[in-house]
């Protein structure tokens, strides 16, 4: 019985640690994963019942993101980017295979489609980015 209590306590402490880490990142600017100068602000997200995240992304002048994919350990990664403000010059989203694309909406599979953002020559670019992983 005491062994079960230890496992339950460890599970609860682990869950609280993940939750506190998540809360600590909410509504704060942090460097993007590509380490190229863009910033991201976590607005919301969850790990269960479906893993998802929602970020506000800020791309300052002079920034670009090189061609890459965003691998996931398991499942299919989807991302919906909604452009809030385009840069004055540059900052174009380039993707090898979008599922849907318009002037302000980009829907794609970042895990299998190479994508990039061209260099921003003037102004700043902002977008709302919603991503989720569908388990297969």
Range of the domain at 117: 27-134
- Tell me whether residue 6 is in a domain: no
- Tell me whether residue 21 is in a domain: no
**Whole-number percent of the chain with pLDDT over 70:** 82
Query: What mean pLDDT comes out for the span 66-83?
Result: 95
Based on its alpha-carbon atoms, the radius of gyration of the chain, rounded to whole angstroms, reads 18
**Residue 93: which CATH number?**
2.60.120.10
- Number of folded domains in the chain? 1
Spatial CA neighbour of 57 closest among 132, 136, 131 = 131
* pTM, full prediction: 0.81
- Tell me whether residue 2 is in a domain: no
The 3-state DSSP composition of the chain as helix, strand, coil percent (nearest 5) reads 20, 45, 35
- Tell me whether residue 17 is in a domain: no
pLDDT of residue 4: 64
The DSSP 8-state label assigned to residue 1 in this structure reads: -
Terminal Cα distance for the chain, rounded: 36
- Tell me whether residue 51 is in a domain: yes
pLDDT of residue 136: 66
- Tell me whether residue 39 is in a domain: yes
pLDDT of residue 8: 47
């Amino acid at each position: 019985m005491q062994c079960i209590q230890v496992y339950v306590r460890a599970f609860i402490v682990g869950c609280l640690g993940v939750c506190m880490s998540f809360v600590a990142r909410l509504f704060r600017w942090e460097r993007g994963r590509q380490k190229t100068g863009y910033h991201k602000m976590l607005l919301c997200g969850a790990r269960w019942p479906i893993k998802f995240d929602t970020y506000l992304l800020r791309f300052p002048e002079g920034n670009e993101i090189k061609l890459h994919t965003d691998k996931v350990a398991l499942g299919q990664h989807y991302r919906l980017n909604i452009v809030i403000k385009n840069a004055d010059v540059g900052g174009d989203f380039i993707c090898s295979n979008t599922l849907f694309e318009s002037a302000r909406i980009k829907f794609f599979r970042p895990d299998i489609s190479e994508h990039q953002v061209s260099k921003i020559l003037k102004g700043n670019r902002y977008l709302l980015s919603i991503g989720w992983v569908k388990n297969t």
